[in-house]
Amino acid sequence: MAIQPKFQIGRKSQQYIASKKFTNREGPRTVFSDTIKDIKMRGITDEDFDAIMYYGVGGIGKTSLQNQLKKDLLELEPNALYSTVDFKDTALHSPPRALLELVREVSYKHRIQFPHFEIAYSIYFYKRNPDISFNEKKLPFEKELGIVADIIGQLDGLGMAGIVSGIVGKVYETKKNWNLDKEVKVYLKELENVSVQEIEEQLVAFFAFDLQKAINKHQIPNTVIFLDTFEALWSGLSNKAVVHTKDKWVRDLIGSSPNILFVICGREYLEWEKYDSDWKKIIKHQMINNFDDKHASQFLEHCGIEEEAIRHKMITSSGGYPYHLDLSVDTYFEMKNRGEQLDSSRFGSNHREILDRFLQYLSDQEIETLKIMSIARFYNKDLFQHLLTEHPTGYAVTKYDDFNKFSFITSESDKRFIHALMRQGILDYSSKDLIKSVHKTLADYYAGKFAYEELEMDQEKEIETLRERIYHQKSYLTQRQFIDWLSGEMLPTLKKLQLRGESRFLRETLSELYRELGAKGLGISLMQILIDMVHLNGEYEQAIAMIDELFEGSDTEQILESQQACHLFIRKIHHQMFSHPVDPLIQELLEIEPILAKKNWPKEYNELIFMLGGNLGVLSGKVTFSRRWLVKAIRYAEENNQMNYYCRALRKYVDILKINGHIKWAKEFCEKGIRIAKENGYERYGAILVVTLADLYRMGNNYPLSEELLEKGMEMIKRVGIKGWIGHIHGSYAEMYFQKGEYEKAAEKWQEAITIYRSINLKWGLIVGAIGLERCRLQGAEIESIDPMEKWLELANVLHYRREQEFIGRTTRGEMGILALPFL
Q: What is the pLDDT of residues 209-221, one digit of tens each?
A: 999 999 988 889 8
User: Are residues 124 and 199 in contact, defined by beta-carbon separation less than 8 angstroms?
Assistant: yes
Domain-located, residue 788: yes
Say whether 263 sits in a helix, a strand or coil. strand
Number of domains in the chain: 5
**pLDDT of 756-795, one tens digit each?**
888 778 899 999 999 999 999 999 998 877 889 999 999 9
Q: Which pLDDT belongs to residue 2?
A: 37
Q: Are 103 and 120 in contact (CB under 8 A)?
A: no
φ/ψ region of 553 (left if φ > 0, alpha if ψ in -120 to 50, else beta) reads left
768 vs 750: CA distance, rounded Å: 9
Residue 44 pLDDT level (bands cut at 50, 70, 90): low
pLDDT at 145 over 60: no
pLDDT at 240 exceeding the cut of 70: no
- 8 A C-beta contact, residue 659 and residue 622: no
Query: According to the per-residue pLDDT averaged within each range, which of 196-200, 404-408, 690-694 is highest?
Result: 690-694
Question: Which of 17-26, 548-557, 643-652 has the least mean pLDDT?
Answer: 17-26
Q: State which of 220, 245, 273 marks the end of a domain.
A: 220
- 321 and 394, same domain (yes or no): no
Whether residue 252 is found in the same domain as residue 350: no
User: Whose CA is closest to 823, among 710, 732, 752?
Assistant: 732
CA 348 from centre of chain: 45
Residue of 661 and 456 predicted with greater confidence: 661
Q: Most confidently modeled of 161-170, 407-416, 453-462, 496-505?
A: 407-416
- Give me the mean pLDDT over the 429-443 stretch: 94
DSSP per-residue string spanning 383-409: HHHHHHHHS--S--TT-HHHHTTSTTE
Residues 283 and 196 in one domain: no
Whether residues 284 and 315 share a domain: the answer is no
Most distant CA pair in the chain: distance in Å? 102
Q: Give a yes or no: residue 577 inside a domain.
A: no
CATH number of the domain at 802, please: 1.25.40
Domain assignment present for residue 443? The answer is yes
Q: Is the pLDDT of residue 798 over 90?
A: yes
The strand pair at 261-266 and 50-55 is best described as parallel
- Given a cut of 60, whether residue 139 has pLDDT beyond it is no
Is pLDDT at 591 greater than 80 in this prediction? Answer: yes
Residue that wins the pLDDT comparison between 434 and 755: 434
CATH number at residue 248: 3.40.50.300
Is 16's pLDDT higher than 80? no
777 and 734 fall within a common domain: yes
Q: Where are the alpha helices (DSSP H) in 537-662?
A: 540-551, 556-559, 563-576, 582-597, 602-610, 617-620, 623-639, 643-659
* 183, pLDDT greater than 50: yes
Output DSSP code: residue 229. Answer: -
Out of 36-50, 378-392, 503-517, the most confident range is: 378-392
Q: Residue 707 — very low, low, confident or very high, per pLDDT cuts 50/70/90?
A: very high
Instruction: Indicate the SS3 state at residue 416.
Output: strand
Q: Does 64 reside within a domain?
A: yes
| 59 torsion bin: left (phi>0), alpha (psi -120 to 50), beta (else) | left
Q: Would the pLDDT of 380 be above 60? A: yes
**Predicted confidence (pLDDT) per residue in 447-479, tens digit:** 988 775 555 567 778 888 999 999 999 999 999
| pLDDT (mean) for 471-492 | 94
pLDDT band for position 3 (cuts 50, 70, 90): very low
Higher-confidence position of 794 and 331: 794
Q: Are residues 138 and 195 in the same domain?
A: yes
For residues 750 and 808, state if they share a domain: yes
Distance from C-alpha of 227 to C-alpha of 23, rounded to nearest angstrom: 22
Asked whether residue 587 is assigned to any structural domain, the reply reads no
pLDDT for position 391 = 96
* Residue 95 DSSP symbol: H
- Residue 6: what pLDDT? 36
Domain limit, last residue, from 419, 453, 478: 478
| Residue 150 pLDDT grade (very low, low, confident, very high; cuts 50, 70, 90) | low
CA distance 145 to 141: 6
- Whether the predicted pLDDT of 664 surpasses 80: yes
Amino acid 478: pLDDT? 93
Report if residue 320 sits inside a domain: yes
Q: Does 352 share its domain with 412? A: no
On the CB side of 8, CA atoms within 13 Å amount to: 16
d(CA 443, CA 473): 5
Please, are residues 535 and 572 in contact by the beta-carbon 8 Å criterion? no
pLDDT band for position 160 (cuts 50, 70, 90):
very low
Q: What is the mean pLDDT of the chain?
A: 85
Please, what is the end-to-end C-alpha distance for the chain in angstroms? 75
Residue 76 belongs to some domain of the structure: yes
| Residue type at position 165 | S
Average pLDDT on 237-256 reads: 75
Are 158 and 212 in the same domain?
yes
Tell me if 541 sits within 8 A of 577, measured CB to CB.
no
- Give the model's confidence band at 670: pLDDT under 50 very low, under 70 low, under 90 confident, else very high: very high
pLDDT band of residue 161 (cuts 50, 70, 90) is very low
**Same domain, residue pair 774 and 814:** yes
Look up the domain containing 760 and give its range: 725-824
pLDDT of residue 155 exceeding 80: no
pLDDT of residue 323: 81
Q: Give the residue from 344, 359, 374 where a domain finishes.
A: 359
Give domain status of residue 638, yes or no.
Answer: no
Answer yes or no: do 474 and 374 share one domain. Answer: yes
Q: What is the pLDDT of residue 137?
A: 45
* In a shared domain, residues 115 and 208: yes
Predicted confidence (pLDDT) per residue in 619-649, tens digit: 898 999 999 999 999 999 999 998 888 998 9
Edge-to-edge strands of the sheet including 261-266? 81-86, 223-228, 261-266, 50-55, 283-287
